[in-house]
A and B are shown apart, each in its own frame.
Chain A
Amino acid sequence: MNEHSVTIEHLGKKYQDVTALDDLTLKVAKGELFGLLGPNGAGKTTTINILCGLVKPTTGTGNVCGYDVVKESGQVKDLISVCIQETAIYPFLTGAENVELFGNLYAMDKAELKARRNMLLAKMGLAEDANRRAGKYSGGMKRRLSLILALINNPQIAFLDEPTVVMDPQSRHAVWDFLKEMKKEEKTIILTTHQMDEAEELCDRVGIIDHGKLIALGTPKELIAENQVNNLEEVFLKMTGRNIREEA
């Protein structure tokens, strides 16, 4: 096992003449909760898509738990899970059926799947609605279910792409609590967000990406101190001259 859960070296991705990712080099330690910050279109999702084997990089390499993400994507998929940005659930299945489906796709043991399904539904506040069709859920409930689908396999590394977007404050805090529990279990989490309070609350370290380039890397406290500002939002503003919620 590699000492780092994730190693990215000189990673680049071009779509025709658009550079989505430009020479990104990064290492994430085992058990670390790492935040990838940046505005829309900065390259966060492209980075995750490459690391989970969905997209091939134009240049550079990505390594997850010692496996090359291009050449050994099968092994990588056994170790990771991804909460994608879209609220992707099957509306015609119940919440519980959605979870069971993805547990089966990870070939989980039946008893283990049932226990973890019940635990996750309870933690995310969906136990009472587990047997309702997911299509009838509210936006926040769908988002929580989407997160459960990503975590059903108890992954070594979780890539969470904007997991709390459109969630109400109560749901957000429930997710934060759960991520903190995962961290205690030495799980590695890579979290993308453009919500700076979330990053400050949860992340051990953050990397700020803008126009596909890594422009800052460190703990939230280090970055705030180095830039002599009050929060991460101001760090981004100072470094780029733009607000993080503006389009890139």
Chain B
Amino acid sequence: MKLQRIAALTKKELKKTIREPAVLFMIFLFPVIFVFAFGASFGGVGGNQTVTYHIGVVNMDHGSSVNASQTFLTALIDTKIINVHSYADNQTAQNDLTQGNVQAVMIIPSGFSQSLVSYQAAPNNPAQWINTTISLYLDKGSLVATQAIPPIIQQTLTAIAGQNQQTPSPFQVQTASLVEVKTSPALDFIAPGMFTFASIFLIMMVAQSFTQDKENGMMKRIRITPTTPTEFMTSQVISYMSIALIQAALVFAMTYALGFRPNVGLSAYVLAFTLVMIFSVSNVGFGLITATISKSAGAATGLSFLFVMPQLFLGTFVGASLSSGAQVAGKFVPSYYVTNALTSLFLRGADITSPAILLDFVVVSVSCVTILAVGIALYAKYYEV
């Protein structure tokens, strides 16, 4: 393997990114503009603004000597970002949710207090617990609310139970989160997904690049030289990882300008940028798969959305507003794990060596390398002169 060839091809790819207006726009300007527009619309420019979420509560937890549900609701109100509206029945609450008067409806089950008592009596013996499930209905039209409300509720539950982050809980809420309660700008909740979002459009760029090179004979021309497939693919991976790094830096600068200030150390940033770079490898793989099935650069642009859309909708900040089924499907796309890891790092305050982060890191690494390998294999197999 000759570094001279890899360096020359990498330099060429980076020049293409900078010099071709369409590529420059799609790779760098579009994510930055999108982050600004989305962040300004949903996040509150300036960083000091906080939002308040309106939650309808149907409290069915009556008749117990320990009124744990009231303690829970008081704790929620004390966060200063939750405004609780009480409802006598679920139907009325659901009506208000449908009309957008509240952003979520929470049903506290009748056994809630008993559940807390059972937990406090035997915190280390789950067999003794009385498990309860809090039903949470979210406003699917409120992207930010769906991202923000479940972790706040879960965290508050964790706090009133006196649990730490690693222990199991008798309370079930669909979205588990162990964040520290704080008043956060809405931007904070969507910023991790924005980092992932920017890189996804590399799929389209890679697919177009390979298809164009095939169409205009450049791929044939390079294959005639002594350049090996390994040298060529190494240059592509280095190029797109570099581009992903620049994208992440630009997105971070934009979110920072909009007020995103995660309270984390340098190591968390290093890990976050590393994750985004590794994630870009899967986008090269998906781009190659797209190039394999595309007859022209135009077709590649369209077909790339077969991979762009699932990654975008199931794995970034958009995903939380989708159905539970779609959220389960999200677990089959790498972007979900990148966003999840970044959320854990930036919002939940998870340590970089925590099991959750390490698991996401392993899943992202293995899946991305696998997708790249599949992309290379398919492209090589079906490449025709």
- Decide if A106 touches B221 in the complex (CB within 8 Å): no
Stretch touching chain A among B14-22, B42-50, B121-129, B187-195: B14-22
Known: A54-B385, A93-B15. A78 touches B220 (CB 8 A): no
Q: Does B271 contact A (CB under 8 A)?
A: no
Binary per-residue interface labels of chain A (104-119) against chain B in the complex, 1 for a CB within 8 Å, 0 otherwise: 1111000000000000
Q: Complex Cα distance A52/B8, Å?
A: 22
Q: Does B226 contact A (CB under 8 A)?
A: yes
Instruction: Looking at the assembled complex, report how far the CB atom of B169 sits from the nearest CB atom of chain A, in whole angstroms.
Output: 56
Query: Considering residues A55, A86, A100, A105, which has the most beta carbons from chain B within 10 angstroms of its beta carbon?
Result: A105
- Decide if B217 touches A84 in the complex (CB within 8 Å): yes
Binary per-residue interface labels of chain B (46-89) against chain A in the complex, 1 for a CB within 8 Å, 0 otherwise: 00000000000000000000000000000000000000000000
Give residues 218-233 of B contacting A (CB, 8 Å). 218, 220-227
Query: Considering residues A55, A82, A92, A93, which has the most beta carbons from chain B within 10 angstroms of its beta carbon?
Result: A92
Q: Does B216 contact A (CB under 8 A)?
A: yes
Q: Does B348 contact A (CB under 8 A)?
A: no
- Decide if B226 touches A49 in the complex (CB within 8 Å): no
Q: A residues within 8 A CB of B4?
A: 104, 107
- Tell which of B5, B11, B217 touches A86, judged by Cβ atoms closer than 8 Å: B217
Instruction: Knowing that A53-B224, A90-B218, A92-B20 touch, tell me 9 more A-B residue pairs with CB under 8 angstroms.
Output: A77-B225, A77-B226, A84-B221, A86-B220, A88-B216, A88-B218, A90-B12, A102-B221, A104-B7
Q: Complex Cα distance A89/B5, Å?
A: 17
Q: B residues within 8 A CB of A104?
A: 4-5, 7-8
Q: Complex Cα distance A85/B19, Å?
A: 26
Q: Does A198 contact B (CB under 8 A)?
A: no
Chain A residues engaging chain B, CB cutoff 8 angstroms: 49, 52-55, 74, 77-78, 80-82, 84-90, 92-93, 97, 100-102, 104-107, 133, 149, 153
Give residues 118-166 of B contacting A (CB, 8 Å). none
Instruction: Looking at the assembled complex, report how far the CB atom of B210 sits from the nearest CB atom of chain A, in whole angstroms.
Output: 14
Q: Does B381 contact A (CB under 8 A)?
A: no
Q: Complex Cα distance A78/B5, Å?
A: 14
- Decide if B226 touches A90 in the complex (CB within 8 Å): no
Residue of A nearest to B228 (CB): A74
- Decide if A107 touches B12 in the complex (CB within 8 Å): no
Some 11 contacts from A to B, beta carbons below 8 A apart, are A82-B221, A88-B217, A92-B15, A97-B12, A97-B15, A106-B225, A106-B226, A107-B2, A107-B5, A107-B226, A153-B225
Majority secondary structure, B binding face: helix
- Decide if A74 touches B226 in the complex (CB within 8 Å): yes
Q: A residues within 8 A CB of B224?
A: 52-54, 77, 80-82, 84
Q: Complex Cα distance A92/B213, Å?
A: 13
Q: B residues within 8 A CB of A77?
A: 224-226
Q: Complex Cα distance A194/B33, Å?
A: 53
Query: Considering residues A78, A80, A90, which has the most beta carbons from chain B within 10 angstroms of its beta carbon?
Result: A90
Known: A55-B385, A104-B5, A104-B8. A90 touches B16 (CB 8 A): yes
Q: A residues within 8 A CB of B7?
A: 104
Q: B residues within 8 A CB of A92?
A: 15-16, 19-20
Q: Complex Cα distance A24/B224, Å?
A: 22
Binary per-residue interface labels of chain B (1-35) against chain A in the complex, 1 for a CB within 8 Å, 0 otherwise: 01011011101100110011000000000000000
Known: A93-B12, A104-B7, A105-B8. A86 touches B385 (CB 8 A): no
Known: A86-B217, A90-B218, A100-B8. A105 touches B15 (CB 8 A): no
Instruction: Looking at the assembled complex, report how far the CB atom of A221 sits from the nearest CB atom of chain B, in whole angstroms.
Output: 33
Q: B residues within 8 A CB of A107?
A: 2, 4-5, 226
Residue of B nearest to A76 (CB): B226
- Decide if A105 touches B226 in the complex (CB within 8 Å): yes
Instruction: Looking at the assembled complex, report how far the CB atom of B292 sits from the nearest CB atom of chain A, in whole angstroms.
Output: 18
Q: B residues within 8 A CB of A106?
A: 225-226
- Decide if B226 touches A54 in the complex (CB within 8 Å): no
- Decide if A86 touches B8 in the complex (CB within 8 Å): no
Query: Considering residues B15, B16, B216, B224, which has the most beta carbons from chain A within 10 angstroms of its beta carbon?
Result: B224
Q: Complex Cα distance A107/B224, Å?
A: 14
- Tell which of A49, A78, A102 touches B385, judged by Cβ atoms closer than 8 Å: A49
Residue of B nearest to A80 (CB): B224
Q: A residues within 8 A CB of B222?
A: 105
Instruction: Looking at the assembled complex, report how far the CB atom of B83 sits from the nearest CB atom of chain A, in whole angstroms.
Output: 54
Q: Complex Cα distance A92/B18, Å?
A: 9
Instruction: Looking at the assembled complex, report how far the CB atom of A97 sits from the nearest CB atom of chain B, in whole angstroms.
Output: 7
Residue of A nearest to B218 (CB): A88
Q: A residues within 8 A CB of B12?
A: 90, 93, 97, 101
Q: Complex Cα distance A68/B15, Å?
A: 37
Q: A residues within 8 A CB of B8?
A: 100-101, 104-105
Instruction: Looking at the assembled complex, report how far the CB atom of A136 sits from the nearest CB atom of chain B, in whole angstroms.
Output: 12
Q: Complex Cα distance A92/B15, Å?
A: 8
- Decide if A88 touches B220 in the complex (CB within 8 Å): yes
- Decide if A105 touches B385 in the complex (CB within 8 Å): no
Q: A residues within 8 A CB of B216?
A: 86, 88
Instruction: Looking at the assembled complex, report how far the CB atom of A106 sits from the nearest CB atom of chain B, in whole angstroms.
Output: 6
